Structure 1
């Protein structure tokens, strides 16, 4: 789609020259001989860019600029004048002009200025779209919270987002969603429109960590041929997310602690203190209390980070969230893969509910993504799931006699008289008897999924004594 440009000048000759040049570049050009005419056209159709003469009879350029910004505040305006002064340029920029050029520039130079301005506009639009997408994705109210544990986290987050200063420490196993929670905090706080900068403390070599975090001055070391801002500066006004903070070495822990305490730092090779306004959110899957006892993590840094602690529970302890999370991933991957998969069948839900998810939410997401790739129907079935889920190799449902009212399965095995297959067949039969034919309950007794139980029933030609 061609960009639209409105050129405004009281000199018709200049307008025609501008129009011919920009038409050749593929732009759609509208012309206006006065500020009043420009505003009338603007109210009918808002252009991507306005070229506006500063000195015009009647409504002059600055007054027209003010009205344009009321009607279309996002439209780029480039001021043009034959009498350029510093004062008029400063005033135009204060009123919201993007740039200020003299009419002495060549049409080729004008073409370059227009192109660059439109590129900036396009980049700004993309950033705005990304910002809205991120705010929608990480909206606090979209947090899946069926389990009591996650409901408690939600309640904590409601308080955290009201304070954009306090440091937060998020702890939890790998894959529990620490980065997701950090982004929820950022995008629901007053810092939402400022940067969210992530630093993986375990991915950066320790000898480079200081320059990565704090930046460096030109000439600070061999190869430092220019000034480079660090992640602290890049996050200024926003949020700095320090992932895997437990892997930070002791020397850098001291420097980080000082920066957090003083809210300022020096670049590597620098002498000037740089003030920062940034919220710190740290995350780790390590037991930091144990690390303190072992001498690998500083206790003072731990307490500095742990102003507001959040402990994320593993998925096996918040099973009420498994199906809602899976359904949410289906919606997301439908959008990404341009599919229209509506649901999972009941057997898939039973498999998921009986799996321990050692990789937590990240593993569940990967399972749904794989299923979506292989599914060409409107419903995910067990044929789309990984084999290790279906074989029942892992489960978090080890039903014991104590946990199920004494329903123990007693077997009499005569070694040397029965094969392993016969023992398995007998065990399944006993489990079905104890469960009164309820396959789901029998599968729990056996520590396997219902799908795995069905496969064994077919293998041994067994039927449940009571069909449930």
Structure 2
């Protein structure tokens, strides 16, 4: 069996020699570089299996080294040594793609375990990637990758570098009480990530309460979030616990936080600062112990510049960020998600569809997936239902995916074909029809991104959500 080669990059000669002797005794080949550029040259010219680098080098820092190494070999495992136990620094290191970071003083046995873990993980990922590639060509060989045995029907961790990074960030932040901001378009799995954080935290045995802020009206948001007392307003016939109280000692997930009204943002800020709530109609503050995770598909910094989102809340919640890529930018995960949803659809519909034929794979790989993972799940389920064979074929797919650019044209033509029918000339009806068509076209141009669609229409997100609700377009 060939020995693995470790590259140690550190300007401390004593540390380099200590680690070199230790790893050689443990059956590794070892290369040494005392500067960043020297190390990068070795990576370019020689076969290196793992890099162990100091964060502070004479010519580069750790973040620059990670980026440079990944530009040469994106799969090369990197372990960073640092003299500072800084959570923010650790987050940046992991987010850029390092396998792990180690704080000084160095314990060689600890690093050896990490080296073995990194190499084993790389071996497993390589095997999965090979299997996934074969699955793309032979759908009947598709494999399902799940998070753990107990929850294989709930979550999926695809065999991709991007998914591995996300999982590392989840593992890093879950044990803390830091507030997490999850960024990503609709359908990318933001709530799934929030649940994973909760389930890997010390609060896992306590409630996880999701709240869709986009569905809260300004008038009822305070009641839904903080609760109310009997008689606080018309219709309050009994006391009610709000989401914060229901999530006490657990986790509260605020989805689409940017859609909260300014007034309710002020109330939320008080909760974040003082960790107390006051029910609508109440006079006493109630202490609460809640881990808060928020999600948004819009850039909150842009919202701040427009005055629709408070800066003080942004800086209060922005302790840790996890960004989820849209499926169109992460097609490497298609194979795993298709296999996962195919398995679930077969179970639910009592079918035995084995996979997708080559023509369908080509369609999937060229499609932009504006609805992301959620859209993929729905299309797979529909295709399994429609399929009469053991493979999903082109005829089993909906027209949305077969002719995505023609879908809205078809609806326009359909409207025009009905032009001979009598139409209401009441101004309110005409306005509603025009607004509905404009919203549909804006959503199409924005690939269903509500923030972009609102910008195209020249309105804010809150107004757009209200109109989506009025015109029954929320599910579009």
TM-score band, normalised by the shorter chain? 0.5 to 0.7
Matched, 1:278 2:287: no
Q: Is 175-184 or 384-393 further displaced after alignment?
A: 384-393
Per-residue deviation, 1:315: 0.8
The answer to whether residue 344 in structure 2 is matched with residue 327 in structure 1 is: no
Q: 1:227 aligns with which of 231, 239, 245?
A: 239
Contact kept, 8 Å, 1:138 with 1:187, in 2: the verdict is no
**2:157 maps to which residue?**
143
Note the alpha carbon deviations across 1:270-328, whole angstroms, 9 max, x for none. 12221111111111111111000111101111111111111111111111001211111
Q: How does 1:118-267 map to 2 (within 5 A)?
A: 135-138=151-154, 142-146=156-160, 148-163=161-176, 165-267=177-279
Where does the alignment leave 5 or more consecutive residues of structure 2 unmatched? Answer: 1-147, 407-476
Q: Distance in 2 between matches of 1:137 and 1:239?
A: 22
In structure 1, stretches of 5+ residues that fail to align are 1-131, 395-468
Question: Of residues 357, 361, 380 in structure 1, which corresponds to 2:369?
Answer: 357
- Supply the distance in 1 between the matched residues of 2:284 and 2:150 (Cα, whole angstroms): 35
- Deviation by residue 1:380-403 (Cα, 9 ceiling, x = unmatched): 122211234335749xxxxxxxxx
Q: Is this contact kept in 2: 1:195–1:237, CA < 8 A?
A: yes
Does structure 2 retain, via aligned residues, the 8 Å contact 1:242–1:282?
yes
- Checking the alignment, whether the CA contact within 8 Å between 2:171 and 2:200 is kept in structure 1 is no
**C-alpha separation between the residues in 1 aligned to 2:150 and 2:298?**
28
Q: How does 1:7-22 map to 2 (within 5 A)?
A: none
CA distance in 2, matches of 1:212, 1:161: 26
Show CA shifts across 1:9-48 (max 9, x none): xxxxxxxxxxxxxxxxxxxxxxxxxxxxxxxxxxxxxxxx
- Structure-to-structure mapping, 1:28-43, within 5 angstroms: none
The whole-number CA distance in structure 1 between the counterparts of 2:395 and 2:374 is: 21
- Number of residue equivalences: 259
Cα 1:133/1:323, change in 2 over 3 Å: closer
RMSD, aligned α-carbons: 2.1
Q: Deviations over 1:213-262 (max 9, x none)?
A: 10112232233232111111111121111111011111111110110111
Q: TM-score, normalised by structure 2?
A: 0.52
Runs of 4+ in 1 over 6 A off after TM superposition: none
Q: Which of these two proteins has the greater Rg computed from alpha carbons?
A: 1
User: For residues 134 and 244 of structure 1, what CA distance do their matches in structure 2 show?
Assistant: 29
- What are the Cα deviations for residues 112-135 of structure 1, in whole angstroms up to 9, with x where unaligned? xxxxxxxxxxxxxxxxxxxx9985
User: CA, structure 1 residues 136+322, in 2 after alignment: closer, same or farther (shift >3 Å)?
Assistant: closer
Aligned counterparts of 2:319 and 2:274: Cα–Cα separation in 1: 16
Alpha-carbon distance change, 225 to 305 in structure 1, aligned in 2, over 3 angstroms: same
From the superposition, tell whether residues 227 and 264 of structure 1 become closer, same or farther in structure 2 (CA, over 3 Å). Answer: same
